[in-house]
Amino acid sequence: MNSPRSGSQAVERAIAVLACFEGGPSDLTVSALAARTGLAVSTAYRIVQALVRGGLLERDERTDCYRVGPSLISLAVPSLARIDTESFAPHLYSLAARLRLTASFGVVKDDVAVTVFSARPPERFCAHQVPGARQPLGSSAMGMAILAFGSASSRRGGSVTAPSDLDRIRRVGYAATLSEDREVRAVAVPVLDAHGQPRGALGVQALRRRLTDDLVRDIVPSMRGVAARIGVNTGTAFPAFR
């Protein structure tokens, strides 16, 4: 006899769907989520749509894949550090409006770069501008920006990134990466405390055809200026990456 359907069962299934995004691919189809959770595709679809309505997941209309949504990222902030996001959120929103790109702040947690806050621009926003909730430290723009400015021992932890690449990031002051399909470019600068230790990274990303080399050169100085202001406020909120 099958157990009756209950509210707790629905919650457990939703948790199972969300758990599929931890430490793995940042974008998944409904079919992939169904296969990972053992749910029927129709059941997985209903759960995914509910999570999208709640902002916990969001859909990429181009690929029909789903990724962690901004509401879930915001809910994760307290588990990373007890901070007042108002200390740096205004800087991110101001930068986002100026660049007309989503400005995100990320930190290192459990050897990955975790996005803890994203400020969307009032215009020209698209889903490509939102980074994954958890990205590889050694191959994401925010992760590499943090890694490059850490200690020599911490830099060895980013084995995906060649030492020469980290040297270049330190020299130019920012990291840049392309997505696997080479359509989305991400750019990030380190957020350094008063002692020059990386506390996080400030990043933007967009379709490569929009985030051109010329635009990157134009926006990096503004990003570094905002990162410097944020660094003053995050000095005790997040541990330095050493």
- In sequence order, which residues have a C-beta less than 8 Å from that of residue 119 and are 6 or more positions away? 89, 92, 93, 95, 96, 102, 103, 104
pLDDT of residue 238: 64
Q: How far apart are CA 19 and CA 135, in angstroms?
A: 15
pLDDT of residue 27: 80
198-207 and 184-192 strand pairing: antiparallel
**What would be the CATH architecture of the domain defined by 7-68?**
Orthogonal Bundle (1.10)
Torsion sign (Cα): 32, 36, 38, 43: negative
| Domain spans in the chain, listed from the N-terminal domain onward | 7-68, 71-233
Q: Do 7-68 and 71-233 agree at the fold level?
A: no
**What would be the CATH architecture of the domain defined by 71-233?**
2-Layer Sandwich (3.30)
pLDDT of residue 61: 82
Q: For the chain of 242 residues, list the mean pLDDT of each consecutive stretch of 10.
A: 58 88 74 93 94 86 82 56 66 94 90 86 87 87 93 54 85 93 94 90 95 96 94 67 67
pLDDT of residue 3: 45
Query: What's the whole-model pTM score?
Result: 0.68
